[in-house]
Structure 1
Amino acid sequence: MKNIVREDGAARMKRIHDDIREIYLADARPWVVGYSGGKDSTTALQLIWSAISELDKERRTKPIYVISSDTLVETPVVSNYIDVSLKRIAQAAVEQDMPVITHKVMPEVDKSFWVNLIGRGYPAPSRRFRWCTERLKIEPANDFIRSRVAEFGEVVMVLGVRRQESATRAQVMSLHSIEGSRLSKHSSLLNAFVYAPIADFSTDDVWTYLLQHASPWGNDNRDLVAMYRNAASGECPLVVDTSTPSCGNSRFGCWVCTVVERDKAMEAMIDSGEDWLTPLLEFRDMLAETQDPKRKLEFRDHRRRTGGVSFIGDTDRVMPGPYTMDFRRTLLRRLLETQRAVAAEAPPGEAPILIHPNELQEIRRLWRTERGDWEDSVPRIVRETLGRDAKYIEPDWVSEDAVAFTAEDGELLNGLCEEADVPVELVMRLLDIERGSHGLKRRHGVHTRIEDAFRLEWRDHDAVVAERRLAIGMTAANDAAIVDDDELELPFDPDGEVSR
């Protein structure tokens, strides 16, 4: 393919600018520009900005929303870069009278990474099941787009996607193209259309453009070049559908990503002098260790979140469920220790908040209501780990009601259940059912909930496996060798059903 920028560059830039202005002025549909801070989205936004700025102010009437996705677990160096860039974009829009509005989209607290991983016990994402992408990226971006569709009827998404990114990307772009139009249909959102101004750019075209054209909002594009060089990485794009390339390929993205075997981008940043990121890499590597097939049941419950037990095929091998409560407590403590270590070493103004107070509140709620955490572990772990650290503001813990159980109650219950040889978790569930119905005039549903509780699996792993072996005629001597669960089981479904 011919080089778009270097071959008759001025004429080609004029043609692209004319194209952008023509599409912008063709209708009243607002534009939503996906900005990830990387080279491709920066190039697309600069082209849009430069083209629209050449219009008379009276014609710059249609809003251009610049949205950036914050998963709340972004690599801190990249997250800081995007935050600074968005502030500059917003300020420059006011100064230059541009119809640009910046907006950061992020997941709802109950969908956040830590609430799902630590609160609900979802295992670290794997190749077979990236439960994070839908919740952290696609849903927040699509919610924003839908809100604009509801307001304006239709929108045009401007994305920095290129056919050269991959054969899959080129195929998807062709599949959704509209004959006779420079726009294409969005793959999943109704009344949303896609415009890709750099669709035919090569990687060289992108870098040449960025180095030859100054940022309209005052960034130094050489800083972007340096960030890529230090990370030896590619761009993590704004994800708006499942066809958008994932970040699990040593790209800029989430610092907790366990989809890849090694986080080469983070390693390269540390080798380039960002030593303060080391605790993040160590935490990420610890998460990755929980995916070792031989060790999964060290970290994960043998029961699903629904309380049942599933087996892999016709074997006696238990399909691992969510992380155990003990390990979730360990994860929370390690995460807070990591936050404290990073805060102590990070350059001024760059220390990230790894977990936010509202996430801690939600984790606490889930542990108390779903797992019977009578000892109220979250506030205790926060205080023991962070103490009176002035750099971190402890959440204003929501007080529990008068019938909440305490750690002392838990100790007494443990002793009584041990004497009676009754599963303590079963009794805790029954007491929680009774507490939940406290004060209700109509209690007809209580008996059903009690019956449901008794139907759940309360035996330990060994007892469950022993029964399974009897059922399928196996003995310990006939145990199959341990292999990678990813090769045998369907993707983990955190809510207890097998994902299809």
Structure 2
Amino acid sequence: MSAILSKKDEELFDTLRIMEEMSNGEFEKKFENIIEYMEEVYMQDSNDWSIMSSAGKDSALVLHLVMTMLKRLSPFQRTKKVHVVSADTRVETKVMTDFLLKNLDLIKKNSVGLNIHVHLVQPDIKNSFAWNVIGKGYPYPEAKSPFQWCTSKHKIKPMDKKINELLKLQTNSKNNHKLTMLLGVRLDESKRREASINAFADKDNDFFAKHTTYEDVRVYHPVKYIQTSDLWAFLSQHCELAWGLPYDELFEMYSDGKECPIFTSEKEKADACGKSNSRNGCWTCLYAGREDKMLQTLISKGHDEVEYLADFKRFLYDTRNDVRYREPISRKEIKAIIKEDNTFQLNLFEDAFASESELSFKHYKRADKSHYVPGGLTFELRLKLLQKLLWAQEGCGYELVSDEELNAIIQTWDEEGYTIDLEDDFIPVDHQTDGVLCLKPNGEINLKETTIHQRVFSIDIKFEMPLDDIADYLKKRQAITQKSYYCFLNYQEYENFNYVNNVLTFIVSDLFIDTKEEALEALCNYLFPISEEIDIMFENEIVRSGQIFLDVCEDVLTKYQDTPNSPEYQFLNEWVHNSKSLSKKITAALNESAS
């Protein structure tokens, strides 16, 4: 209770302070000083200004002060171009997008003669949410993600492109900058924001800062020392802001003080995007958790269609870390395997006198990934996400994924070898989860985050294929079945016999699988399909006989590998190498079946 009273007391004292400053003229003078200094900075050189505007309260204050300053100048003094740059991530809510577009239209309409130019930037298709998550299968960043790629792709890259365009338009300057960028950041926003602002502040004038990316861009923080309470008190004195937006509309959007502010570099994003459970921002953002305050607020205010967006986000959140929807090998790992294969060379000194079996054992590509480090999203989930998004789009009544994005997704899937039927696959479906299966880094089930009720089985499958062939084989099976099972990769070897094979431990969990035998049958049907094109000796159980062979090897080779002089060892050694020819035929048959 004391903490609540303390906060109320603080707000009361702040209100009394503002009232006193208004009565003695200090409050008005505070903002008048900002405008006067803005004019001084404006007149210092001929290089353009850019105002990075999110249409939020902070950038609104900056734009209002700039336009007030410009209106006081004579037309002959307004020689500098002022660029208002805003970003649309393609995944803003319709309420936010409409609000942003209304602001930009009003700025264009009511800035005639002020030399103000309006720019709206968007991510291109390859930087959009739909193409990256659904098309390519990149997991959407969440609070625990080490790399917040969504911010870079959706906001920073489009902004960088526009900044570069503006820089090219500037003439050579005698100053150390070609462009002055105005940002509405304030020390009062948060301790982290304060530290970020001060870290790059100019030592001679702390209203200015170095841009973390562009050496010839000067950053100007005109409202750096303005408190949030002062901001609202000042803007509330105006029925309309300088470009004609009613003050009440701005207050309605941002009165809780929480927003995803605009920023212009990788170093700033940790202090901004998605960190505050904001009232505006990307509706797909997972940083706020499974339930999104922004979406729930819109729903509570009568935007019933937003419930479709909230339901899609919950599905995205639940499936993102579900092991059943994650690839066992990442694209980066596959590239490394291919690179290693392409750069392989025999060592003429070490390998010159080695036997074929010794060379095979030495250079066999062993699978070694026993910890849980998942790859991207499986195609099975990506298709479900697309169908769920189409369902949400149909339900909310406005566009969530463009035709251009859909065409890019189709092309990407085709390049990966997935065959889809536009009539049967590109349909709205309200997919739901049966719970979540999460693993710890050591491969154990994360009981805290797992919510499924069915049993989970670990099934070991042995392959004589080297790792590169396994990776290729699994991709073929995924392309044909449009399904995937996560697996841990390991190997077992018997050095005395120059024998080694890979072991994949698959995770199987399904509502309709109750026993380990059923799990093994489902997995074998997935891995080892029966094909009429394969000779009868390799069909059905014969195809799977490679597994039986490897199981036998594990039992008997372990028993006799330490007795090289025994008759049993000599017999087994000959038997293993003679049997490899049959195993190779089985492997070839499997590959032919998969393709």
Normalising by the smaller structure, the TM-score range is 0.7 to 0.9
1:74-119 CA-to-partner distances (Å, cap 9, x unmatched) read 122111100111011111112xx11111101111211111100000
Query: Offset of 1:204 from its aligned partner?
Result: 0.4
| Equivalent in 295, 304, 307 of residue 278 of structure 1 | 307
Query: Offset of 1:316 from its aligned partner?
Result: 2.6
Specify the alignment match of 2:128 in structure 1: 112
Matched, 1:100 2:123: no
Q: In the aligned structure 1, how far is the partner of 2:55 from the partner of 2:96?
A: 8
Specify the alignment match of 2:385 in structure 1: 331
Specify the alignment match of 2:404 in structure 1: 358
Q: 1:378 to 1:122 in 2, by over 3 A?
A: farther
Q: Larger deviation: 270-279 or 116-125?
A: 270-279
Q: 1:475 to 1:362 in 2, by over 3 A?
A: closer
Matched, 1:169 2:193: yes
Q: Which has the larger radius of gyration?
A: 2
SS of 1:319 mapped into structure 2: coil
Specify the alignment match of 2:259 in structure 1: 235
Aligned pairs (5 A) from 1:61-210: 61-94=79-112, 97-127=113-143, 128=145, 129-152=147-170, 154-181=178-205, 182-210=207-235
Q: Larger deviation: 103-112 or 299-308?
A: 299-308
Q: 1:379 to 1:72 in 2, by over 3 A?
A: farther
Query: Offset of 1:70 from its aligned partner?
Result: 0.7
Query: Offset of 1:177 from its aligned partner?
Result: 2.0
| Equivalent in 320, 326, 338 of residue 374 of structure 2 | 320
Aligned pairs (5 A) from 1:434-473: 454=469, 456-459=471-474, 465=488, 467-468=490-491
1:248-269 CA-to-partner distances (Å, cap 9, x unmatched) read 3211110001122131121122
One-letter amino acid matched to 2:331: R
Q: 1:466 to 1:247 in 2, by over 3 A?
A: closer
SS of 1:193 mapped into structure 2: strand
TM score, norm. by length of structure 2: 0.61
Specify the alignment match of 2:294 in structure 1: 265
One-letter amino acid matched to 1:222: D
Query: Offset of 1:183 from its aligned partner?
Result: 2.1
Q: Is residue 93–residue 282 contact of structure 2 (8 Å, CA) maintained in 1?
A: yes
Q: Is residue 369–residue 490 contact of structure 2 (8 Å, CA) maintained in 1?
A: no
Unaligned runs of 5+ in 1: 344-350, 387-422, 427-450, 477-500
Aligned pairs (5 A) from 1:294-305: 296-305=322-331
One-letter amino acid matched to 1:159: L
Q: 1:290 to 1:249 in 2, by over 3 A?
A: farther
Q: In the aligned structure 2, how far is the partner of 1:50 from the partner of 1:124?
A: 41
Query: Offset of 1:469 from its aligned partner?
Result: 7.8
How many residues align? The count is 393
Query: Offset of 1:290 from its aligned partner?
Result: 1.8
1:189-215 CA-to-partner distances (Å, cap 9, x unmatched) read 221111111100111011112111231
Aligned pairs (5 A) from 1:40-79: 40-79=58-97
Query: Offset of 1:462 from its aligned partner?
Result: 7.2
One-letter amino acid matched to 1:249: S
Q: In the aligned structure 2, how far is the partner of 1:327 from the partner of 1:86?
A: 38
Q: 1:467 to 1:208 in 2, by over 3 A?
A: same
SS of 1:290 mapped into structure 2: helix
Query: Offset of 1:172 from its aligned partner?
Result: 2.4
Specify the alignment match of 2:276 in structure 1: 249
Query: Offset of 1:170 from its aligned partner?
Result: 1.8
Q: In the aligned structure 1, how far is the partner of 2:424 from the partner of 2:48?
A: 49
Q: In the aligned structure 1, how far is the partner of 2:66 from the partner of 2:310?
A: 37
Unaligned runs of 5+ in 2: 1-13, 173-177, 337-367, 430-462, 478-483, 494-499, 506-595
Specify the alignment match of 2:438 in structure 1: none
One-letter amino acid matched to 2:413: W
**RMSD of aligned residue pairs (Cα, Å):** 3.2
Matched, 1:37 2:37: no
Specify the alignment match of 2:560 in structure 1: none
Q: In the aligned structure 1, how far is the partner of 2:165 from the partner of 2:62?
A: 23
One-letter amino acid matched to 1:169: R
Q: 1:157 to 1:13 in 2, by over 3 A?
A: same
Specify the alignment match of 1:482 in structure 2: none
Q: In the aligned structure 2, how far is the partner of 1:26 from the partner of 1:287?
A: 51
Q: 1:301 to 1:57 in 2, by over 3 A?
A: same
Matched, 1:28 2:46: yes
Q: In the aligned structure 1, how far is the partner of 2:138 from the partner of 2:181?
A: 32
Query: Offset of 1:363 from its aligned partner?
Result: 0.9
Q: 1:366 to 1:463 in 2, by over 3 A?
A: closer
One-letter amino acid matched to 1:266: L
What is the aligned-residue identity percentage? 27
One-letter amino acid matched to 1:305: R
Q: Which has the higher contact order (CA 8 A, sep 6+)?
A: 1
SS of 1:161 mapped into structure 2: coil
SS of 1:359 mapped into structure 2: helix
1:367-387 CA-to-partner distances (Å, cap 9, x unmatched) read 111x21233x457544x449x
One-letter amino acid matched to 1:331: L
Q: 1:452 to 1:319 in 2, by over 3 A?
A: closer
